Structure 1
Amino acid sequence: MTWQWIRFVLSAACLVTGLVFMILAVFGVNRFHRALNRMHAAAMGDTLGILFVFAGLILIRGFSMDSLKLFLVILFFWTAGPVSGHMISRLEAMTDENLGEILVIRKGKTDKKQKEEEGDETL
């Protein structure tokens, strides 16, 4: 009886942790401005979120064929996620002309005023 409660508490903790990581990833994707930063936030949230959610489901279900299938789904996501993220980041690096520029934000100045002061030579 005690083992079942411990297993339930551990699985609930894993599920809540996974959901927290996924929610934080949503905020990270909406907060960042560059595509590569957004991809990083989404990838970290997906990787850790899926790990903890599926680990919680494995603990709830117990060790059986269902948990083996869930483990294989984790492995598939961990294999496919970085590959697709790498392909998208390479596309972004090849098509974004402003990727190497550093964005500096100064208080109280708009972009137009800042470029006039610096004497923008790209015109």
Structure 2
Amino acid sequence: MSAVIDILSWACLVVGGFFCCVGALGLLRMPDFYTRMHAASVIDTLGAGLILVGLGLQAGWTLVTVKLLMVGLLIFFASPTATHALARAAMARGLKPLLAQPENPSSKP
């Protein structure tokens, strides 16, 4: 049973790390503020959540797991709320999203 828990734990850690790396790449590659903010929110909720689950599986049923659960709940509730507040503040300041408009070759002079 210990080997199964180790395999599940490492799978969560690796997949969570993968999502964090993809989200970090998204922060660098996305064209505007709103898409970068979306990439950052994915890192917080999915990547960090999977890493915390993997660490909780490694810790077993101890006080460490309870602390990891509390950190996970904080991330789960605070990250989407902060992302939403940041997006509303950016909209209120007049920052418009970059909309990709397909070019129409017939409309060029």
Q: TM-score category by the smaller chain? A: 0.7 to 0.9
Alpha-carbon distance between aligned partners in 1 of 2:61 and 2:95, rounded to the nearest angstrom: 51
Q: TM-score scaled by structure 2?
A: 0.87
**Cα RMSD, aligned residues only:** 2.2
Change in CA separation of 1:93 and 1:8 when aligned onto 2, cut-off 3 Å: same
Residues 39-67 of structure 1, C-alpha deviations (whole Å, 9 max, x = no match): 11110122111111010011001012210
Identity percentage over the alignment? 29
List, as ranges, runs of 4+ consecutive aligned residues in structure 1 with deviation greater than 2 Å. 96-99, 101-106
Residue identity in the other structure for 2:9: S
Q: 5+ residue gaps in structure 2?
A: none
The equivalent residue for 2:87 is 89
The CA deviation at 1:98 is 3.7
Residue 111 (structure 1) aligns with: none
- When normalised by structure 1's length, the TM-score is 0.78
Query: Partners in 2 of 1:96 and 1:32 — Cα distance?
Result: 20
Give the number of the structure with larger relative contact order, counting CA–CA contacts within 8 Å between residues 6 or more apart. 2
Query: Residue 26 of structure 1 contacts residue 42 of structure 1 at CA under 8 Å; is this kept in 2?
Result: yes
Structure 1 residue runs without a partner (length 5+)? 107-113, 119-123
